[in-house]
């Protein structure tokens, strides 16, 4: 420092210098500036950390001892006043100085060091303007010394475009930077503080990302297949409009298909995922009667309810449609007529249950009874919910009318049949070829081959109903197509409502691969009935490539049941307040791919707390928080040490990279083969491997202080691993994936074949966020009680009710035999209300 002329001070410090963004560092700079400006000699002395215990915390570790060697001043502003002899100024000058120093003490120095720069500058701008009005020399005044000490950290880290918004501040700062006093002091100051970085806001401009990996998907654009590229067409079984979907329905088709659609897009394939509500048939007519509304009103209501549930579960349909459309009628009738022209449609008379009370044939779900194959007492007229067996309604044991519980009689009715027996050779040839090439699920193969082994027979494709696609043949004007003839045609018709160029997807087998997702009870309609129908038309259809089926997801001690309202339904999941990604994770981790699985509340909570939170959440938060919250990094990604990540290096970093690449290859193989549950498990294995890496590397402040190069490498590798995990998670947990991308200030990315460091040195990440929250285990009993987790009592009551109903039915039948043969008006005149709108 400059040789003393009027003063001498001693600055005492302990051996741990303060960070540059602290009040202690600001106080040191004020003192040094004042001493230099007043030609005061400065001496330094090191003291033990305990020597300044009496000083205010904000002023440690510095204080000033005056030249009398007795007086200690802990407040830097007081030191400035002393050195400048402020009390010797004129009254007006002293008042002006004191007002500014008082403002600095009350307003400026109380702002946190990490406060947004513009907040600090906006507060200082008018005061600095008043200084500029009277100061234009390079001399450093007492006010200059105090304000420069407070503002220097913020000013030195501000960008030019930020400072330019505050012209008075910018002018004043430039003047002082060029002064001899400041030029002399800054090197001394810098040597006695620990420099820290200012946390920049994460923006597009401060990203350092490999642009070739950015994932781009615009759902508003129509997706069409491209010749020579990979084109994936995905469907999920069309849900009936007779209830809100439950968890078993969601994992069975729509959620599973969504995962594969998201994966296919992230791998760069042209992907179209379509679904919609199946709105024709007996289920609709029965439900409409129950709710006393028209079939169209019922369809409108439940189509909206389904869409609302699927939106909450974040399902990424390219188009969610319905089957009650003109396109459906047009395409169904066209396909039927081609089948007829080609000789695959026949007419025959069949026996059907007829309710004399209702005066109507009882198609499908209008009749119930005991399954002729497994003995289930509540089997429907066309299919058993328990064993998935298919049969004719007249085969039911102890049949009863769904509407009035009376025993029906058997009458003849003329119907149209699809001659599956004639189509079996071609169908079997297609199955043998496609099941192998498309790696069908084991359930799909087994069910299909059992049908073929038993031999195909002509299948009735018409019903005595009013709500359905009309039959374009004379003499069948009182009938409609059977829902399982027209339902699968809903896939191309919904696509036709999405784009007029629908045939580019559905009649393009050379360029398009079709993946279909469903529960196991829907298999034969997708592997035999629908493909046989396509074959019968003679058109060049895009046939099924891969079928992915699910067994049943049961609920606690019983089964989900739409008709009985048992289990957790889509809207129930939302009512818990648990984010949809947690529900997605649980359902996908428990996906019944090869056998039935059971939903339990204990398992649901455990998977959130022990897997999502403890594994994935812990890994991501630990890394991002260290990088974001550590002032030594201030959110800026460091460069790794090349030798630590080079191929063949014997380091924890290289071993991690190699292990992740092995797991990544396994993940891609699993997902390409539609082994969804296994793919998710592999993502969690990668996250767990990341946690082991952090433990091995001992990521903490000690690693930074003692092994900086290794710490930089760990952060670079771990942050990039989080970026990869975010991409791998996207098919399963899209909201979590987006949150990871937001925290990393990076675009969502494609799924690549190898793990590379795609985020470069100097990349500025965003703010750390928690990915998941712990669920209190007390919620288990609350939710179990609220949503009926235990079904023993429910099942017992159902059995009692069933026996009671049957007893009543027999008694009622006897009474009616002796009573008038005319049925009650309210039953005889009951009809389906069909909207004409």
CATH code for the domain of 93: 1.20.1050.130
Q: What CA–CA distance (Å, rounded) separates 30 from 457?
A: 97
Q: How close are the terminal C-alpha atoms of the chain, in Å? A: 93
Q: Are 110 and 120 in contact (CB under 8 A)?
A: no
CATH number for the domain including 737?
A: 1.10.730.10
565 vs 754, which has greater pLDDT? 754
Q: Are residues 647 and 759 in the same domain?
A: yes
What was the pLDDT predicted at 564?
55
DSSP 614-655: IIIIHHHHHHHHHHHH-TTTTTBPPPPPHHHHSTT--SHHHH
Q: Is residue 330 part of a domain?
A: no
Please list the alpha-helical segments (H only) found in 517-560: 523-524, 530-537
Q: Are residues 825 and 743 in the same domain?
A: no
- The CA-atom distances, in angstroms, between 719 and each of 156, 553, 625 are 28, 37, 11
Calculate mean pLDDT across residues 51-68: 55
Q: Which of 191, 213, 231 is at the close of a domain? A: 191
Tens digits of residue pLDDT in 168-183: 999 999 999 999 999 9
Q: Is residue 202 part of a domain?
A: no
Q: What CA–CA distance (Å, rounded) separates 727 from 673?
A: 18
DSSP 588-600: HHT--SSS-EEE-
User: Which segment of 231-235, 400-404, 470-474 scores lowest on mean pLDDT?
Assistant: 400-404
CATH number for the domain including 826?
A: 2.170.220
Q: Are residues 665 and 765 in the same domain?
A: yes
Check whether 749 has a pLDDT greater than 90.
yes
Percent of the chain with pLDDT over 70: 87
Q: Is residue 517 part of a domain?
A: no
Structure tokens at 797: 């009551």
Among candidates 10, 64, 39, which has minimal Cα distance to 180?
39
Q: Are residues 802 and 773 in the same domain?
A: no
Which residues, in sequence order, are bridge partners of residue 270? 231
Q: What CA–CA distance (Å, rounded) separates 791 from 774?
A: 28
Q: Are residues 702 and 822 in the same domain?
A: no
Q: What CA–CA distance (Å, rounded) separates 424 from 572?
A: 44
Q: What CA–CA distance (Å, rounded) separates 409 from 353?
A: 6
Check whether 662 has a pLDDT greater than 50.
yes
Q: Which of 131, 160, 191 is at the close of a domain? A: 191
Angle, helices 167-177 vs 180-191, to 10°: value is 80
Q: Is residue 572 part of a domain?
A: no
Q: Are residues 608 and 712 in the same domain?
A: yes
Q: Is residue 548 part of a domain?
A: no
Q: Are residues 182 and 47 in the same domain?
A: yes
How would residue 119 be classed by pLDDT, with cut points 50, 70 and 90?
Answer: confident
What was the pLDDT predicted at 809?
42
Check whether 755 has a pLDDT greater than 70.
yes
What is the number of structural domains in the chain?
Answer: 3
Q: Is residue 17 part of a domain?
A: yes
Extended beta strands in 302-448, E state? 319-322, 345-355, 360-361, 367-370, 379-380, 397-401, 409-418
Q: Is residue 302 part of a domain?
A: no
Q: Are residues 24 and 118 in the same domain?
A: yes
Among candidates 448, 471, 458, 626, which has minimal Cα distance to 546?
448
Calculate mean pLDDT across residues 811-824: 34
Q: Which of 191, 207, 222 is at the close of a domain? A: 191
Instruction: Examine residue 213 and say whether the peptide bond preceding it is cis (omega within 30 degrees of 0).
Output: no
Which residues, in sequence order, are bridge partners of residue 44? 11
Look up residue 273 and give its DSSP letter: E
Q: Are strands 231-236 and 270-277 parallel, antiparallel or unpaired?
A: parallel
Q: Is residue 254 part of a domain?
A: no
What was the pLDDT predicted at 550?
92
Among candidates 204, 104, 118, which has minimal Cα distance to 163?
118
Percent of the chain with pLDDT over 90: 59
Q: What CA–CA distance (Å, rounded) separates 396 from 382?
A: 9
Q: Are residues 748 and 816 in the same domain?
A: no
What was the pLDDT predicted at 1?
31
Check whether 671 has a pLDDT greater than 70.
yes
Strand-by-strand arrangement of the 379-380 sheet: 379-380, 367-370, 397-401
Q: Are 209 and 533 in contact (CB under 8 A)?
A: no
What was the pLDDT predicted at 792?
43
611 vs 392, which has greater pLDDT? 611
Instruction: Examine residue 61 and say whether the peptide bond preceding it is cis (omega within 30 degrees of 0).
Output: yes
Tens digits of residue pLDDT in 494-503: 999 999 999 9
What was the pLDDT predicted at 528?
96
Q: Are 448 and 388 in contact (CB under 8 A)?
A: no
How would residue 111 be classed by pLDDT, with cut points 50, 70 and 90?
Answer: low
834 vs 412, which has greater pLDDT? 412
Measured from the Cβ of residue 401, the count of other Cβ atoms closer than 10 Å reads: 22
Q: What is the largest CA-CA distance in the chain?
A: 130
Q: Are residues 36 and 152 in the same domain?
A: yes
Tens digits of residue pLDDT in 513-558: 999 999 998 999 999 999 999 999 999 999 999 999 999 898 886 7
Check whether 831 has a pLDDT greater than 80.
no
Check whether 421 has a pLDDT greater than 80.
yes
pTM metric for this prediction: 0.78
Tens digits of residue pLDDT in 194-209: 777 667 788 888 899 9
Calculate mean pLDDT across residues 445-473: 93
Q: Are residues 648 and 704 in the same domain?
A: yes
Q: Are strands 7-13 and 63-65 parallel, antiparallel or unpaired?
A: antiparallel
822: containing domain: 346-419+462-483+797-837
- Helix, strand, or coil (residue 164): coil
Q: Are residues 662 and 806 in the same domain?
A: no
């Amino acid at each position: 420092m400059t040789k003393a002329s009027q003063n001498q001070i001693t600055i005492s410090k302990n051996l741990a210098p303060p960070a540059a963004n602290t009040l202690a560092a600001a106080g040191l700079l004020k003192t040094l500036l004042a001493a230099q400006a007043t030609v005061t000699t400065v001496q330094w002395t090191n003291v033990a950390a305990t020597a300044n215990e009496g000083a205010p915390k904000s002023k440690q570790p510095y204080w000033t001892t005056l030249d009398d060697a007795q007086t200690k001043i802990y407040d830097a502003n007081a030191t400035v006043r002393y050195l400048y002899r402020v009390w010797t100024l004129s009254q007006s000058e002293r008042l002006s100085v004191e007002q500014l120093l008082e403002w600095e003490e009350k307003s400026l120095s109380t702002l946190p060091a990490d406060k947004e720069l513009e907040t600090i500058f906006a507060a200082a701008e008018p005061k600095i303007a008043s200084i500029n009005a009277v100061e234009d020399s390079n001399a450093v005044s007492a006010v200059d010394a105090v304000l420069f000490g407070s503002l220097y950290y913020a000013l030195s880290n501000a960008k030019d475009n930020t400072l330019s918004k505050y012209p008075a501040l910018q002018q004043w700062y430039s003047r002082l930077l060029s002064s001899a006093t400041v030029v002399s002091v800054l090197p001394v100051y810098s040597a006695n503080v620990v420099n820290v970085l200012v946390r920049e806001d994460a923006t597009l401009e401060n990203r350092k990302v490999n642009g070739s990996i950015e994932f781009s998907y615009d759902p508003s654009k129509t997706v069409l297949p491209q010749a020579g590229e990979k084109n994936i067409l995905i469907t999920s079984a069309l849900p009936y409009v007779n209830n809100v979907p439950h968890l078993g329905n969601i994992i069975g088709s729509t959620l599973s298909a969504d995962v594969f659609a998201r994966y296919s897009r992230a791998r760069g394939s042209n992907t179209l995922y379509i679904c919609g509500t199946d709105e024709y048939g007996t289920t609709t007519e029965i439900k409409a009667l129950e709710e006393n509304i028209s079939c169209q009103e019922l369809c409108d209501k439940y189509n909206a309810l389904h869409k609302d549930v699927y939106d909450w579960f974040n399902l990424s349909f390219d188009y969610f449609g319905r089957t009650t459309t003109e396109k459906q009628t047009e395409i169904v009738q066209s396909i039927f007529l081609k089948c007829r022209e080609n000789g695959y449609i026949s007419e025959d008379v069949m026996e059907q249950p007829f309710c004399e009370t209702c005066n109507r044939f009882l198609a499908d779900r209008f009749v119930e009874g005991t399954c002729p194959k497994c003995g289930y007492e509540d089997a429907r007229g066309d299919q058993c919910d328990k064993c998935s067996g298919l049969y004719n309604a007249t085969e039911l044991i102890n049949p009863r009318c769904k509407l009035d519980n009376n025993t029906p009689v058997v009458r003849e009715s003329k119907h149209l049949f699809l001659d599956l027996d004639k189509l079996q050779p071609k169908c079997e040839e297609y199955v043998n070829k496609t099941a192998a090439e498309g790696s069908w699920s084991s359930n799909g193969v087994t069910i299909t081959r059992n049908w073929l082994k038993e031999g195909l027979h002509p299948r009735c494709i018409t019903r005595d109903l009013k709500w359905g696609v009309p039959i374009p043949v004379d003499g069948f004007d009182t009938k409609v197509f059977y829902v399982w003839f027209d339902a699968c045609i809903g896939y191309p018709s919904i696509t036709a409502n999405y784009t007029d160029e629908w045939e580019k997807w559905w009649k393009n087998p050379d360029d398009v691969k079709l993946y279909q997702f469903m529960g196991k009870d829907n298999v034969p309609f997708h592997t035999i009935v629908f493909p046989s129908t396509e074959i019968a038309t003679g058109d060049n259809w895009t046939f099924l490539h891969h079928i992915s089926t699910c067994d049943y997801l049961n609920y606690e001690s019983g089964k989900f049941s739409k008709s009985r309202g048992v289990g957790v339904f889509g809207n129930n999941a939302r009512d818990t307040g648990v984010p949809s990604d947690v529900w997605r994770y649980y359902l996908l981790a428990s996906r019944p791919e090869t056998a039935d699985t059971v939903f339990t509340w204990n398992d649901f909570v455990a998977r959130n707390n022990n897997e999502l939170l403890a594994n994935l959440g812990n890994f991501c938060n630990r890394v991002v928080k260290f990088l974001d919250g550590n002032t030594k990094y201030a959110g800026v990604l460091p460069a790794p040490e090349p030798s630590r990540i080079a191929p063949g290096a014997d380091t924890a970093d290289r071993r991690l990279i190699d292990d992740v690449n092995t797991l990544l290859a396994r993940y891609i193989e699993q997902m390409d083969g539609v082994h969804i549950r296994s793919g998710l498990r592999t993502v969690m294995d990668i996250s767990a491997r990341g946690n082991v890496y952090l433990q091995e590397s001992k990521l903490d402040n000690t690693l930074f202080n003692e092994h900086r190069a290794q710490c930089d490498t760990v952060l670079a590798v771990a942050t990039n691993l989080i970026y990869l995990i975010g991409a791998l998670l996207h098919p399963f947990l899209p909201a979590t994936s987006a949150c990871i991308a937001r925290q990393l200030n990076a675009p969502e990315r494609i799924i690549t074949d190898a793990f590379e460091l795609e985020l470069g040195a100097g990349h500025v990440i965003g703010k750390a966020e928690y990915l998941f929250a712990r669920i209190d285990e007390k919620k288990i009993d609350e939710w179990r009680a609220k949503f009926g987790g235990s079904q023993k009592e429910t099942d017992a009551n159902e059995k009692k009710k069933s026996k009671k109903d049957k007893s009543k039915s027999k008694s009622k039948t006897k009474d009616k035999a002796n009573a008038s043969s005319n049925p009650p008006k309210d039953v005889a005149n009951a009809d389906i209300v069909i909207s004409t709108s």
